A and B are shown apart, each in its own frame.
Chain A
Amino acid sequence: MPMLRIEGLDHRWTGARQDTIRVGALALGAGENLFLHGPSGCGKSTLISAIAGVIDVAEGAVCVAGRDIGSLGSGARDRFRADHIGLVFQMFNLVPWLTGIENVILPCTFSRRRRRRAGNPEAVARRLLGDLGLDPDELGRKTAGDLSVGQQQRVAVARALIGTPDLILADEPTSALDADAKTAFLDVLMRDCKAANTALLFVSHDRGLEGHFDRSVDFRDLDRGGTR
């Protein structure tokens, strides 16, 4: 069963004259990773929102872990997202007044499934942060606002991984990092996703990262009609 399957997804923002995104077909199995690249503004973030169930999509267009996102109500989509999807963004990933560890275990407060799968969220959070090369004690002390951007991005990855979701969506998570940090970051992300058998959809305009991934797709090739 593919963790992510997209078939004929069209979405148009309210007031737009053309469809913002048109995706013909895309599939991702458990433990697989996919690098999706395309220029800024081509609709990558909209695709992430559609998969995460934040915007309304047609029935049958998006399936995550075998569930048709378009058939769920908005409340059910929120619960489904909490249970099955981890998200990492370019910036502003963390709640600034919570500590690093509190940020990591945040999904466990909204999802019973993730809490159950994590077992002891705090211990898992510490282990994940340690794996990512961070000092768990420091992150239990410092609030997210006091962390460096590199630290924040790794905390965000730990948060996406906790409770082993079925799918991780990463939207330009490396653009604030320098070259060495990018490589280290991607290695850990990839390794942990493989270890948890989590599917990873990684979206970026930076084609230099392509080599780290099993597969690579140009966003415009998914696009049947063109957004520009």
Chain B
Amino acid sequence: MIGFSLRSLWNRRFVAGLTVFAIALSAALIVGVEKLRDGARDSFVNSASGIDLVVAPRGNPVQILMAAVFGIGGTGTAMSWESFEWLENMPGVAWAVPIQMGDNHRGYPVIGTDVTYFEHVRHSGGQPLQLASGTLFIEGQADGAVLGAEVAARFGHAPGTVIVNAHGSGDVSFHMHDDAPFTVTGVLAPSGTAIDRMVIVSLAGFDAIHAPHGTPDADPLDAAGLAVPPRNTRADHETHEEHREHTGHDHDEGSRAAAGTGEHAHPRGRDPDGHAHAPERLNAVYVGLADRTGVLGLQRAVNDRAAEPLSAVLPAVALTELWGITGTAERALQIMAWTVALASIIGMVVMLSATLESRRREFAILRSVGASPAHVVRLILTEAAVLTGAGLFLGIGIFILAARVAGPVLASRFGVQLDTRGFDARELAVLASLFGAGLAAALVPAIKVYRATLADGLSVRI
């Protein structure tokens, strides 16, 4: 029966081919939407791996997670170094990594942190970050930068390349920090997460971008800063006070020269906590716990901190909230994809129905050699199964091809990796239901055939 159906379809190969192609496109679209959704979610989930809590100035959890972990958008205000130290010394806290944000390198987010970042941040279910080439910046090295794999690949940066960052988080920036260049010390291996799209510099370096211009190299305060442990001095506190006005990234030259040099005074010194540089403003802190069961208690303690309004975000919870937001868009995409599928299945029904009139003779002939109406119906359903099945396979092929072509762009622009290696149960269910829909739709022409075949008998009266 299948051979017979194939011969029959081959006889109408042009229209059948178009039908298969239409089904293939819709199948590719549906699979693509599913894979995009999975890819986007995986990208977020993998990026947030290993971080138990993200602490940032009080704000919306989703916004904090997006900004602090994925480099999308920003947090509102900034939090103080004191809060970081407080957090670091909380019972149960295994590690805390400070994060500064707000700059970009040709559209890619720049984050300021310290070398503990590379030690604690994990991706894709707990894998540590690996260097593909070069080294990490040395602790306290102000002009060192480690690049995510895609940033490096996109611009052809390698260790030794001097890069310039710009202010702001957008792609278009009018303010280039070309007076504070960085030297690439290392490039990370691809992780398939948002980290691939990041430029990671030291806190000292990040502050240096925002230091006032024209700082003399031989400023006497520089030496003083090196000599004096900055954190516990009254003078240091004053410079912090002064510099706070700076956080709006006001690069007014000259007037705050003293503050700037004060800031530059301690990048190469070590503060008592072992952090190379103590900026007075952070955007977020990644926190890891020794025992994860204490996470809710710590979250409450952070949220209740009287000294400064902070939010502690559980990545998993914020992600669930995020899916709630993106779910609407996902559903819209899914509905659109299924609508296209519906159109193509209707196309198949039209094709099968349109040929029925001219095939009534064929069916009468089959009847005369012993075919029952049920045989003829099976013929039609087999044709529909062949068309839909071929459409699905071609569609998967189209999707894989499209994913290969568009994959690099998607990965670099949006950090979304499309998985073309296999299909999970959900995607297989989607494909199966598409196949079922095709067969179900073919029942319409099949019933028409059944009636016509019964009525026509051995001779066709048209």
- Contact partner of B372 (CB less than 8 A), chosen from A49, A74, A93, A97, is A74
Known: A97-B7, A98-B7. A78 touches B372 (CB 8 A): yes
Distance, CA A93 to CA B458, complexed state (A): 10
| Contact call A93/B8, Cβ cutoff below 8 A | no
| Contact call A89/B368, Cβ cutoff below 8 A | yes
Distance, CA A43 to CA B401, complexed state (A): 62
Of A48, A75, A82, chain B has the most CB atoms within 10 Å of the CB of A82
Q: Cβ of B45 < 8 Å from any Cβ of A? A: no
* B454 to chain A: closest residue by CB: A74
| Contact call A87/B369, Cβ cutoff below 8 A | yes
Among the stretches B359-367, B409-417, B439-447, the one at the interface with A is B359-367
- Contact partner of B362 (CB less than 8 A), chosen from A54, A79, A96, A171, is A96
Q: How far is the CB of A125 from chain B (nearest CB, A)?
A: 13
Instruction: Count B-side interface residues using an 8 Å CB cutoff.
Output: 23
* A49 to chain B: closest residue by CB: B457
| Contact call A95/B371, Cβ cutoff below 8 A | no
Of B364, B365, B366, chain A has the most CB atoms within 10 Å of the CB of B365
Distance, CA A81 to CA B375, complexed state (A): 14
Distance, CA A78 to CA B365, complexed state (A): 13
* A165 to chain B: closest residue by CB: B370
Residues of B332-373 contacting chain A, CB below 8 A: 361-362, 364-373
Q: How far is the CB of B449 from chain A (nearest CB, A)?
A: 15
- Contact partner of A87 (CB less than 8 A), chosen from B361, B368, B372, B374, is B368
Scan A18-58; emit 1 where CB is below 8 A from any B CB, else 0: 00000000000000000000000000010011001011000
Q: How far is the CB of A126 from chain B (nearest CB, A)?
A: 18
- Contact partner of A110 (CB less than 8 A), chosen from B7, B11, B362, B369, is B369
Q: Cβ of A173 < 8 Å from any Cβ of B? A: no
Residues from chain A with a CB closer than 8 A to the CB of B365 are 92-95
| Contact call A54/B8, Cβ cutoff below 8 A | no
Known: A52-B368, A87-B369. A75 touches B7 (CB 8 A): no
Distance, CA A97 to CA B460, complexed state (A): 18
| Contact call B369/A159, Cβ cutoff below 8 A | yes
Distance, CA A197 to CA B210, complexed state (A): 107
Q: Cβ of A192 < 8 Å from any Cβ of B? A: no
Q: Cβ of A100 < 8 Å from any Cβ of B? A: no
Distance, CA A74 to CA B370, complexed state (A): 11
Known: A79-B370, A87-B369, A89-B368. A49 touches B362 (CB 8 A): no
Distance, CA A98 to CA B411, complexed state (A): 51
Known: A75-B374, A95-B362. A54 touches B457 (CB 8 A): yes
| Contact call B457/A97, Cβ cutoff below 8 A | no
| Contact call A55/B457, Cβ cutoff below 8 A | yes
Q: Cβ of A106 < 8 Å from any Cβ of B? A: yes
* B12 to chain A: closest residue by CB: A97
Distance, CA A96 to CA B8, complexed state (A): 10
Scan B421-459; emit 1 where CB is below 8 A from any A CB, else 0: 000000000000000000000000000000000000111
Q: Cβ of A83 < 8 Å from any Cβ of B? A: yes
| Contact call A92/B375, Cβ cutoff below 8 A | no
Residues from chain A with a CB closer than 8 A to the CB of B457 are 49, 54-55
Distance, CA A93 to CA B7, complexed state (A): 18
| Contact call A95/B366, Cβ cutoff below 8 A | yes
Known: A55-B457, A89-B458, A89-B459. A111 touches B370 (CB 8 A): yes
| Contact call B458/A54, Cβ cutoff below 8 A | yes
| Contact call A54/B367, Cβ cutoff below 8 A | yes
Known: A49-B457, A54-B458, A98-B7. A107 touches B361 (CB 8 A): no
Distance, CA A46 to CA B4, complexed state (A): 29
Q: How far is the CB of A165 from chain B (nearest CB, A)?
A: 10
| Contact call A110/B459, Cβ cutoff below 8 A | no
Residues from chain B with a CB closer than 8 A to the CB of A92 are 361, 364-365, 460
Q: How far is the CB of B178 from chain A (nearest CB, A)?
A: 73
* B364 to chain A: closest residue by CB: A92
Scan B98-136; emit 1 where CB is below 8 A from any A CB, else 0: 000000000000000000000000000000000000000
Q: How far is the CB of B12 from chain A (nearest CB, A)?
A: 9
Q: How far is the CB of A44 from chain B (nearest CB, A)?
A: 11
Residues from chain B with a CB closer than 8 A to the CB of A49 are 457-459
Residues from chain A with a CB closer than 8 A to the CB of B372 are 74-75, 78-79
| Contact call A52/B362, Cβ cutoff below 8 A | no
Distance, CA A139 to CA B371, complexed state (A): 23
Residues from chain A with a CB closer than 8 A to the CB of B10 are 97
Scan A197-227; emit 1 where CB is below 8 A from any B CB, else 0: 0000000000000000000000000000000
Residues of B361-403 contacting chain A, CB below 8 A: 361-362, 364-375
Distance, CA A92 to CA B362, complexed state (A): 8
**What are 9 A-B residue pairs whose CB atoms fall within 8 Å in the complex?**
A45-B459, A49-B458, A82-B370, A87-B368, A87-B458, A97-B7, A97-B10, A107-B369, A171-B459
Among all A-B residue pairs, the 7 with the closest Cβ atoms: A82-B370, A110-B370, A97-B11, A78-B372, A54-B457, A87-B368, A107-B369
Q: Could you list which residues of chain B lie within 8 angstroms of chain A, going by C-beta atoms?
A: 4, 7-8, 10-11, 361-362, 364-375, 457-460
- Beyond A49-B459, A78-B375, list 10 extra A-B contacts (CB 8 Å): A49-B458, A74-B373, A78-B372, A89-B458, A92-B364, A92-B460, A95-B366, A107-B370, A110-B375, A171-B459
